[in-house]
Amino acid sequence: MSVQASAALFRPVRAGNAFEETVERLLQAVRLGVVEAGGRLPPERELSERLGVSRVTVREAIRALSDAGYVESRRGRYGGTFVNAVLPPKPAGDGVIDAEELQDVLCLRHVLETGTAEQAAMRSLMPDERRHLKDALTEASVADLDDYRRRDARLHLAIAESSGSTSLTSAVADVRMRVDALLDRIPLLQPNLDHSNTQHATIVDAILGGDPATARQAMAEHTEGTASLLRGFLR
């Protein structure tokens, strides 16, 4: 039995307790911009059902996010839990980063993102999917430094959705959270942002034009850009 394979298979069955995992999932929705600023989360009862977790646990998780300044709850009909316009700054984290973790997440991201771009370009997208992609691209292109991370994530998720595989979309969201945790430790510069926007346009054009090879290639260059940024700053 290979030691690496067994390490991959005998990893922990759960990343944390129900509360922690629920917090993490809701954080994904907020941080990746799936629920936009000012937007409302699904009602607690619905979240409870969809996340497969008791409502008590959902409430505790929401309470934690509320205390941290991410969301705010309002009672009464037409109430709910709303995403704050301005998100709290994230803790810088410890300076040391595991080189193996970096290699792992960057490799995974490369595979997933180039794969979604290619798959998206291979499908014949519905009109609403095409519009959704274009909208996400536009919103990312006009974002300022503060909003950029969320809108960028939202665009990459839109591309993943265009692949037509929910499992792929989930995987992209998960790896994006890991990448974001790393990106929090390096500065975001305007030139990088401009360059990203150009690449985004190329990728979306290729997808909408049904050109898988170009979509993959463009996405590869795009992820390689942030990858080398991370490698440079963290090593």
The site for DNA (CB under 7 A) is made up of: 17-20, 41, 43-45, 48, 52-57, 59, 62-63, 73-81
| Least gap, CB of 88 to DNA (angstroms) | 19
Q: Which is nearer to a copy of itself, 180 or 192 (CB)?
A: 180
| Least gap, CB of 194 to a copy of itself (angstroms) | 26
Site for a copy of itself in 34-63 (CB under 8 A): 34-36, 39, 42, 47, 50-53
Chosen from DNA, a copy of itself, none, partner binding at 161 (C-beta under 5 to 8 Å by type): a copy of itself
**Pattern of binders to a copy of itself over 127-146, x per CB under 8 A?**
-----x--------------
| Least gap, CB of 7 to a copy of itself (angstroms) | 6
Q: Does 77 bind a copy of itself (CB under 8 A)?
A: no
Q: How many residues bind a copy of itself (CB under 8 A)?
A: 59
Q: Which is nearer to DNA, 19 or 148 (CB)?
A: 19
Chosen from a copy of itself, DNA, none, partner binding at 73 (C-beta under 5 to 8 Å by type): DNA
Q: Does 212 bind a copy of itself (CB under 8 A)?
A: no
Helix axes 212-234, 99-122, angle to 10 degrees: 160
